[in-house]
Amino acid sequence: MANMKHETVIGLEVHAQLLTESKMFCSCPNKFGAPPNTNICPVCTGQPGSLPVTNKKAVELAIKTALALNCRIEPSSVFARKHYFYPDLPKDYQISQYEQPLATGGWLEIEIDGQVKKIGITRVHLEEDAGKLVHVGAARIMGAEESLVDFNRTGTPLMEIVSEPDLRSPREAAAYTETLANLLRYLGVCDAKMEEGSLRCDANLSLRPAGETKFGTKTEVKNMNSFRAIEKALAAEEKRHAEVLAEGGQVVQETRFFDDVTETTSGMRGKEFAHDYRYFPEPDLVPLEPPAKWTEEIKNGIGELPRTVIARYMKEYELSREWADFLVYHELTGCLEGALKIYKTKPFNYARWLIVELPSFIAELNKEAAEKSNINKAKSELPHPWVIEDAAEKAAEDNYKKNIEVSGKSLPKLNLTPAKLAEIEKLIDGGTLSYKIAKTVLFAAIKTGKELAAIIAQQGLTQISDEGELLKVAREVVKNNPRQAEQYKGGKEAVMMFFVGQMMKATKGRANPELAAKMLKQALS
């Protein structure tokens, strides 16, 4: 809501690159980070005589997404040529869908301040991505000495998800985009890495008098590479609209660029209308007519959606909302569920390993990786495979906070399986390992890939549960700390924690804590 006089209206167009092995209409690899202009062919670069062929996997992933968004899969959808000129578009047109999209009429639920709001989905359709301009001498095209074109991204399968204009604030827009990104990652259709461009968002914003049903003049905002940037960009544009209207001016329909340094928007070009693109059906591609049986198979393979899983974890497993969110959106539910099937224990125990200890292990691995990278920098060695992005690391560090900000990235795939997680809990319950030693063992297993039993045997890390052996250590600890012994005997029972700590130190964490306390009491009597 801009102010008491005007209502903000926002609609979003989210573009998601699909996780396929090849491009949308050719067999070129769909891979980020390859050397410029290496993943290209006559089809994706628009050479004369080349013909496109639709990627079935891309269609499957788009249908999967549309079903998860409660959309209707259209019995027939048509690809069209969308004409516009730009240096990164080698054919001078983009193969997209216009009048007959793949899916229509769905919704996505978002949560704001504990309240659930349903945002309408207008359509989900398929298209191909454009190439990428690399500007030399400046971060953006403005001020650059020259611009180079990398066609690797050209032809990448792109799914566009268009919302209804149901969003009423920049905060709601950011929440919608983040919720959608989490869903796409959960479904395995897109990695949603905004910093790599695999998820991009164009936002249309307008203001209208409060109570009015007719839309105001909209502007489109681009260059928003994070959820926070979406909120800031739209807040800046909302403020600009309000100021123009307050001064009696008229908002001009245009496309605007968000500057994340100044946190302001600036005009890029006049906003096109649909007829400007001269859409017409793509003559080289037949209509998409997905069989009902195939659509039903895709639907049955989706399983529980995130909101359902989170609610179940909170109710059945008695986990907090923050922990449930973390497990679901960092793709850790499979590890938790798998471990529970192998060895039944409190779900909280497995969740603690995944939410509290796993990020700590990753931080330690990152530290080692950074040290190794610095040592070998002169040798130009590749980065250590355990290094993860700052956003994911930050999410791990903040996992105790009430309003955890899920990073938008999955934690790395480590040498951690449900079987190892179940085995470590079984060893703790059986008294073989203390929790402290178990952390050491599991970290070593994650780091090296070795089996737990081999690590325990190699390092001699079994828990000491022999009363005679522990009594000897207890007597030695009491002997070496006479002042604390007198305090305990004088009635200061809290000193026992000090003695237990000394016992753990003397045994390098291997003492059974309960037996250690028992033997200490005996030694102090």
Per-residue confidence (pLDDT) for residue 80, from 0 to 100 = 96
The whole-number pLDDT of residue 45 equals 95
8 Å CB contact between 157 and 93: no
Token pair 């400007």 in the structure block, residue: 276
Q: Residue 101 corresponds to which tokens in the numbers above?
A: 């999209």
- pLDDT for the residue numbered 381: 42
Buried b (16+ CB within 10 A) or exposed e, 381-412: eeeeebbbeebbbebbebbeeeebebbbbbbb
- Low-confidence stretches of the chain (pLDDT < 50) are 378-410
User: CA end-to-end span of the chain, whole Å?
Assistant: 71
Tell me the one-letter amino acid at 341.
Answer: K
CATH of domain 467-524: 1.10.10.410
The owner of tokens 């500057």 is: 259
Compute, in degrees rounded to 10, the torsion defined by CA atoms 81, 82, 86, 91: 0
Calculate the alpha carbon distances from 421 to 334, 348, 424, 450 in Å.
12, 13, 5, 13
Nearest to 347 by CA among 425, 238, 235: 425
**Beta bridge partner(s), residue 157:** 128
> Residue 161's closest CA among 20, 288, 12?
12
Q: Three-state SS across 3-49?
A: CCCEEEEEEEEEEEECCCCECCCCCCECCCCCCCCCCCCCCCCCCCC
Q: Where in the chain is the domain with CATH 1.10.10.410?
A: 467-524
**Helices and strands of the chain, counted as H and E runs:** 17, 14
Determine contact, residues 434/507, Cβ cutoff 8 Å.
Answer: no
224: nearest Cα among 189, 252, 191, 199: 199
DSSP element (H, E) containing 502: helix 495-506
Q: How many whole angstroms from its chain centre is CA 354?
A: 16
- The residues facing 8 across adjacent strands are 207
Distance between CA atoms of residues 8 and 13, nearest Å:
17
Closest CA to 95 of 36, 41, 160: 160
pLDDT at 494: 84
Q: For residues 183 and 325, what is the distance between their CA atoms, to the nearest angstrom?
A: 12
Task: Give me the percent of the chain exceeding a pLDDT of 70.
Answer: 88
Residue 4: per-residue pLDDT = 57
pLDDT, residue 404, reads: 30
Helix (H) or strand (E) holding 351: helix 347-352
Distances (CA, A) of 134 to 46, 140, 265, 268: 20, 9, 22, 18
Residues 321, 312: Cα–Cα separation, whole Å: 10
